[in-house]
Amino acid sequence: MTYTKRKDGRKFDEPREMEAKVGVIKRADGSAMFRMGDTIAIAAVYGPRELHPRFLQNPQKGVLRCIYDMCSFSVTERKRPGPSRRSTEISMVTKNALLSVVNLDKFPSAVVDVFINVIQANAGTRCVGINAAALALADAGIPMRDLVSAVAVGSVGTKIVVDLDKYEEDHEEGSTDIPVAMIPGTNKVVLLQLDGAVKKEALKEALKMAKKTCSDVYKIQKKALKTAYPGALL
Ligand code: ADP
């Protein structure tokens, strides 16, 4: 049996419905929500502010810190609260992806903290978290070369698909999940993880799909910023 039709009726290269909003956490210096289907992430940014303890400071430039977490109520089986190996890894790859666009040269000895919370999870949370975090950093006025836009691509059985949901990730025909984050202006890949095996040709096709969908994500991100900052040149 081959995977011929997606359960939710989407085309194989069609992402889930997307939505974005900035300024959702008023007390934060910057914040945003990003939704892809049933996966929703909120990101809040604090800083630049002086980094304590001082031995962690970099006198040349500011430091970026990133914490990704999933709320206990984000999945149907209550997720155990607190950090895990998974959340530590996702925090690290998210930070590295964002560092490729953030410029903290003007903020020596300071820190910018990015907190990402997934309030509802149905696969693709690291990508949705990155999309929200990039928007929250822009909302905080942190100097950035561009945004970062992300989506997971992969395969279900022999089919290449974009933006897998949990049903597809756990499919009986076997699946491969490839989260990809890009700098939309240059198409530079700043995150690529591969969970499983994939043939070279399939990877090429999946990356093509990721590029196309990342540009759709970018449009949604820019629209959210334009709504919040009507006069801004974006
Ligand atoms: P991503 O969310 O980036 O795709 P994973 O592949 O690790 O990362 O997770 C896939 C999905 O599995 C998540 O989006 C979520 O729906 C589910 N999931 C992850 N961790 C847990 C957990 N501790 N409890 C229940 N479901 C989880």
Q: Where are the alpha helices (DSSP H) in 81-152?
A: 85-99, 125-139
Give the mutation target among 120, 122, 125 for probing the ligand 1 site: most ligand atoms within 8 A of CB. Answer: 125
Give the mutation target among 75, 93, 130 for probing the ligand 1 site: most ligand atoms within 8 A of CB. Answer: 75
**Tokens for 104?**
């903290």
Q: 198 and 155 in contact (C-beta within 8 Å)? A: yes
Q: What is the pLDDT along the chain (234 residues), one digit of tens a residue?
A: 689 999 999 999 999 999 999 999 999 999 999 999 999 999 999 999 999 999 999 999 999 999 999 999 999 999 999 999 999 999 999 999 999 999 999 999 999 999 999 999 999 999 999 999 999 999 999 999 999 999 999 999 999 999 999 999 999 998 999 999 999 999 999 999 997 788 999 999 999 999 999 999 999 999 999 999 998 877
Name every protein residue with a CB atom under 6 angstroms from any ligand 1 atom. Answer: 75, 77, 79, 86, 121-126, 152, 166, 169, 177, 179
Whether the full predicted model's pTM is greater than 0.85, yes or no, is yes
